Chain A
């Protein structure tokens, strides 16, 4: 009896697995690493998005070289701890994050998690288009053309109908996030101060931890840890077809991503620190104004690279965040949801992916829409919706029926609970400074 022809999704995934098998069998570890990296690098560099880079710019320009440089590295360590869990969950269960939440906790709690995700995703996507428009405006490109080109990039990335090709295209684009590194050098910072900041976490912010400092602190946490990252990486790991024995490489992938993203974030703070040194008030700056204001200190080329970096940050995040929404939609509705499927096979998946991006892009074009309002709250909202997301994450990874021997041990659980506690406490400090504005911590 002849077997039924496999689906395109299965064939593509099997081809990727055979390549991995060959590399492993031939002990070509570099080739194996090349084949297995992707979700971790993408999620970390994808999270260095428009509002995140804006948050780092505000940090550098308002506080200079000090406490926030090592703090940002610390937030990426927290992100690594959370994202490592999604690697194990995806590789063991081969299911997405939304699917596992619905299956194990039911529709009631699943709907809450989805509302959090879609609410923060749509708001974040709007700010990504704001970043693209702001970056493009530096080059005199109209906002209509900028939004249109961003949507074309999304379609082009999807047109390969292969997870592998989509991942490589998006990863290539994401690596451009490192453009902030040369800008940091062009700013000619005092490297002694940079080194001292990393070693001593000082100087502390001027005026102590008041409301403004806590907002920046929370915004920088939100720039590295958000709910969409959990849904995206677990979805990407299962779509890529990572097996249990690939978990180690998945961790390395996530570690490389965290290091690269931390490097770009620190570079952005260093690049904008001359604005602090020269006492420029950057409180109300948008992305384009940062690039223009930096020109006297980093030169024309530096300012141009800075604008390119902001534009790229928004563009990559548009692709990654709309994909995370589409993965979650497909998992919840139990419809086909793989980048290895053609448009005909996964109409709902691709339609949701594109429509979420198009609506968010359209909002940016509405005259008088309070974009500053959205940019202001998006990172903060992302942090504040994290505690329940981390709660579900820890419950899932400790679920014996799902994870078996791969569930977290005491050490990983301690780390995971610490991340949840830290994020929750940061939110509470923020609430205290809002309710009692004169409070100094």
Chain B
């Protein structure tokens, strides 16, 4: 796995490293964040997922649930005012 390799590699650096010092080492930054950048690239390449009929019914059901509950809350509040 890329992170374990890079972390092991840069853990060998001695002493305390500072932000300014690291800024001058772009290759070190890139290697350390390899897993991060690969994951972002992967996510950016994803398209929409397909909805099965059951899934569509479920998420529409949950949406109707919320709208119904908002009406119930408003009714409840009006009862208390």
Contacts and interface: CB of A to CB of B under 8 A. Distances in A.
Interface of A: 3-6, 8, 10-15, 17-18, 20-22, 24-26, 92-95, 99-100, 103-106, 109, 112, 116, 241, 243-245, 373, 376-377, 380-381, 384-385, 387-388, 391-392, 395, 399, 401-402, 424, 427, 430-431, 434-435, 437
A241 B36 contact: yes
A416 to B, nearest CB: 14
Contacts of B76: 434
Interface footprint category on B: 35 or more
Given A94-B39, A373-B77, 17 more contacts: A3-B30, A14-B32, A17-B3, A17-B32, A18-B17, A22-B10, A92-B39, A106-B48, A241-B36, A381-B70, A384-B66, A387-B62, A387-B65, A388-B62, A388-B66, A424-B65, A430-B72
Contacts of A95: 39-40, 43
Contacts of B70: 381, 384
A13 B36 contact: yes
A430 B75 CA distance: 12
B42 to A, nearest CB: 8
Interface in B1-44: 1, 3-4, 6-8, 10-13, 17-19, 22-23, 26-30, 32-33, 35-36, 39-40, 42-43
Contacts of B29: 6, 10-11, 14
Nearest to B18: A15
Interface string B67-81: 011101101110111
Contact of B26 (A5, A22, A373, A380): A5
A18 B33 contact: no
A10 B77 contact: no
Contacts of A13: 33, 36
9 contacts: A3-B26, A10-B29, A22-B10, A22-B13, A25-B12, A106-B48, A244-B35, A384-B69, A391-B58
A241 B33 contact: yes
Interface of B: 1, 3-4, 6-8, 10-13, 17-19, 22-23, 26-30, 32-33, 35-36, 39-40, 42-43, 46-49, 55, 58-59, 62-63, 65-66, 68-70, 72-73, 75-77, 79-81
Contact of B11 (A6, A21, A245): A21
A11 B40 contact: no
B19 A388 contact: no
Is chain A's interface secondary structure helix, strand, loop, or mixed overall? Answer: helix
B11 to A, nearest CB: 3
List the 10 shortest-distance A-B pairs measured between CB atoms, nearest first: A21-B7, A25-B11, A384-B69, A3-B26, A388-B62, A94-B39, A6-B29, A21-B11, A14-B32, A14-B29
Contacts of B69: 384, 427, 430-431
Given A5-B26, A388-B59, A388-B65, A402 B75 contact: no
Is chain B's interface secondary structure helix, strand, loop, or mixed overall? Answer: helix
A427 B66 CA distance: 10
Nearest to B75: A434
B23 A6 contact: yes
Contact of A15 (B17, B62, B72): B17
A243 B35 contact: yes
Contacts of B36: 13, 94, 241, 243
B26 to A, nearest CB: 4
Given A25-B11, A376-B77, A402-B43, A435 B72 contact: yes
